[in-house]
Amino acid sequence: MRQILLGGVAAVGLLLAGCNGGSGTTSAAAKTDATTFLASAEKELSEFSDYAARVQWVNANFITDDTDWLAARASSEGTLLSVRLANATKQYEGASLTPDQQRKMQILRAGIVMPAPSSGTPEEQKAIADELSKITTDLQSAYGKGKFTIDGKELNLEQLSEIISSSRDPKKLQQAWEGWQTIAVPMKADYARMVEIGNQGAKELGFSDIADMWLANYDMPSKDMEATVERLWSQVQPLYNDLHCYTRAKLNAKYGDAVQPKTGPIRADLLGNMWAQQWNGIYDIVAPPASNPGYDLNKVLVQKNYDPIKMVKTGEAFFTSLGLAPLPETFWQRSLITRPRDREVVCHASAWDLDNLDDLRIKMCTQVNAEDFSTVHHELGHNFYQRAYNKQDFLFKNGANDGFHEAIGDFVALSITPEYLKQLGLISTSPPASADLGLLMDRALEKIAFLPFGLKVDKWRWQVFRGEVKPEQYNQAWVDLGKQYQGIIPPGERPADAFDPGAKFHIPGNTPYLRYFLSFILQFQFQKAACEQAGWTGPLHRCSIYNNKEVGAKFAKMLEMGASKPWPEALEAFTGTREIDGSALVAYFAPLQAWMKEQNAGQTCGW
């Protein structure tokens, strides 16, 4: 495993494989003792992972028909292996197992992202695993190669995204937005078939569907996890509504009623990001008056001659300032840090752990700007987590849950404060308290704007996996959820063949998305706890734990636990609480929320 992709993904699935076509599964006669079974499963998975990770790495770094073929084959082998092991756990149902053994069995059973069915003859099993793997590989490659031509020029995602964040011409924005969505049209039929196969696989493993299976990875029954998500959303939704209301008024003032009406949803292409998931691209439009931080990190990085390598070195230096060991030399030799000019690559940023030990790498098409400076910390968070838990047993080499994996680097990036930038020599003076609203607004555009999007992606998939939304309703359901949660609508009528969800990496990439919603909650809990440990008494958004070895040591304790204990224990180890909770996030933004409420007075908020 190591669906290392995107860092420490839980999936024992897809990437693993075992080739020694073991007999199936539930034969009681063949029942081995649990300790022996788990040891052999971990050995097999670990060996397979060493191979599959390299195949996937090469495919993502050189997308060709041949590497697609290799990746599909490895993925099929991985699916067969992980499904075989998942089925084999059925022998131990009701057996008396230690908590660790139970945990490993559950990881084997539920940790497959897209399971293939295991009924039928070995030939039939292989045929359907091959079909599934070809679909998942093709979807991912189609996304990686996505382009759209404007004025005779073929544009990739970075170029189209640049238009979305910098243009203020509604026609150009609409053209770039609609253009990017076209890359997903050919994916729809494959996606529907994949859902069919995956659901059959999930049912055979005892789940009602893939949604049930994904939600079973949080140390509680799926239903309880879903309820937890609802509780978290109800805690943070009022904050999002205030930001939405304030932003809509600013967009209305900028573009006029014909483009952005005063009431109702916001036009999705006006928010500075292709998916309206983070709105920092329109900071200039929503900036609170008289609270200019006095610097623009985008410009500062360029002026100070930062290049992609220097950005990554700076990120690494933050982690080592906490007392963590530097990255190995191979990280620098083997990572892909800028987009190569001569070949197709999967540019969506990811962190990898090729040998489940210390062959760590990132792969990202880094640009010198504030967003990618943050993303560098995000990716390195995955790598430092991976190395911290490398002494755990194979099945525990993972995040406490997938939200933790996503939150580590983001938590560290919350320490990129003006004071920290000053320590780096990037700015010469730290802005006064009067700039706080500006600093908080910039963070809100990154963190608060994201919350409903973070929810939308898997709300859509849950509906699809549960059969509540059929292929002919795929697009409408996506648009409806965007309206319901984000309060956004597409810039124009959507074509009948549209498949807009496919234009977001994690849908063709089959990366579960709830993790990011959880991460955006957790990272503020980490921040609050860390700053308390550091004795910080100022506003939370000014707190940086740079160089703090004591906080670092406690942080490392949580990281080293990996997935060996239920996640509330890991949370407790660092923060002292076992509950995931949105109040730290709400407290962080309290001054901004109070100010936005004043600005919104007299308006009809909501949509």
Catalytic residues, by residue number, are 379, 506
Candidates 247, 238, 232, 233; CA nearest to 279 is 247
Looking at 1, 7, 243, 322, which residue binds Zn ion (CB under 5 A)? 7
Tell me if 349 contacts ligand X8Z by CB under 6 A.
yes
Tell me if 7 contacts ligand X8Z by CB under 6 A.
yes
Could you say which residues in the range 15-54 bind ligand X8Z, by CB under 6 A? none
CA dihedral defined by 25, 26, 30, 34, rounded to 10 degrees? 90
Q: Report how far residue 113's alpha carbon sits from residue 515's, in angstroms, rounded to the nearest whole number.
A: 13
- Measured from the CB of residue 206, what is the shortest distance to ligand X8Z in angstroms? 29
Could you say which residues in the range 388-407 bind Zn ion, by CB under 5 A? 406
Query: Which whole-number Å values give the CA distances from 184 to 134, 146, 498, 539, in the listed order?
Result: 17, 8, 7, 43
41 φ, ψ to 5°? -60, -45
Question: ∠ CA(502), CA(508), CA(514), 5° rounding?
Answer: 90
Tell me if 384 contacts ligand X8Z by CB under 6 A.
no
- The one of ligand X8Z, Zn ion, none whose footprint includes residue 548, by CB under 5 to 8 A per kind, is none
Nearest residue (CB) to Zn ion, 7 versus 431? 7
Residues in the interface with Zn ion (CB under 5 A) total: 3
Residue nearest to ligand X8Z (CB): 6
- The one of Zn ion, ligand X8Z, none whose footprint includes residue 349, by CB under 5 to 8 A per kind, is ligand X8Z
- Measured from the CB of residue 599, what is the shortest distance to Zn ion in angstroms? 33
Nearest residue (CB) to ligand X8Z, 293 versus 399? 399
Tell me if 276 contacts ligand X8Z by CB under 6 A.
no
Q: Report how far residue 569's alpha carbon sits from residue 574's, in angstroms, rounded to the nearest whole number.
A: 9
- Measured from the CB of residue 401, what is the shortest distance to ligand X8Z in angstroms? 14
- Measured from the CB of residue 162, what is the shortest distance to Zn ion in angstroms? 22
Nearest residue (CB) to ligand X8Z, 399 versus 431? 399
Tell me if 375 contacts ligand X8Z by CB under 6 A.
yes
Which residues lie across from 489 on neighbouring strands?
Answer: 267
> Could you give the angle at which helices 370-388 and 402-413 cross, rounded to 10 degrees?
130
- The one of Zn ion, ligand X8Z, none whose footprint includes residue 516, by CB under 5 to 8 A per kind, is ligand X8Z
Candidates 167, 156, 160, 10; CA nearest to 82 is 10
- Measured from the CB of residue 410, what is the shortest distance to ligand X8Z in angstroms? 8
- Measured from the CB of residue 536, what is the shortest distance to ligand X8Z in angstroms? 26
- The one of ligand X8Z, Zn ion, none whose footprint includes residue 375, by CB under 5 to 8 A per kind, is ligand X8Z
Nearest residue (CB) to Zn ion, 282 versus 345? 345
Nearest residue (CB) to Zn ion, 519 versus 564? 519
Q: Report how far residue 80's alpha carbon sits from residue 48's, in angstroms, rounded to the nearest whole number.
A: 12
Two structure tokens written together for 7 = 């860092």
3 and 60 Cβ atoms separated by less than 8 Å? no
Tell me if 143 contacts ligand X8Z by CB under 6 A.
no
Two structure tokens written together for 409 = 């680097």
| Region of residue 488 (phi > 0: left; psi between -120 and 50: alpha; otherwise: beta) | beta
Nearest residue (CB) to ligand X8Z, 277 versus 321? 277
Q: What DSSP character marks residue 564?
A: S
407-443 CB burial, b ≥16 within 10 A, e <16: bbbbbbbbbbbbbbbeeeebbeebbeeebbbbbbbbb
Looking at 516, 517, 524, 588, which residue binds ligand X8Z (CB under 6 A)? 516
Nearest residue (CB) to ligand X8Z, 49 versus 375? 375
Nearest residue (CB) to ligand X8Z, 369 versus 375? 375
Tell me if 288 contacts Zn ion by CB under 5 A.
no
- Measured from the CB of residue 187, what is the shortest distance to ligand X8Z in angstroms? 17
Please give the single-letter amino acid code of residue 497: D
237 Cβ contact partners less than 8 Å away, ≥ 6 residues apart = 451, 452
- Measured from the CB of residue 513, what is the shortest distance to ligand X8Z in angstroms? 8
Which sign does the torsion angle of CA 87, 91, 93, 96 carry?
Answer: negative
Residues in the interface with ligand X8Z (CB under 6 A) total: 7
Please report, as ranges, the residues that interact with ligand X8Z according to CB under 6 A: 6-7, 349-350, 375, 378, 516
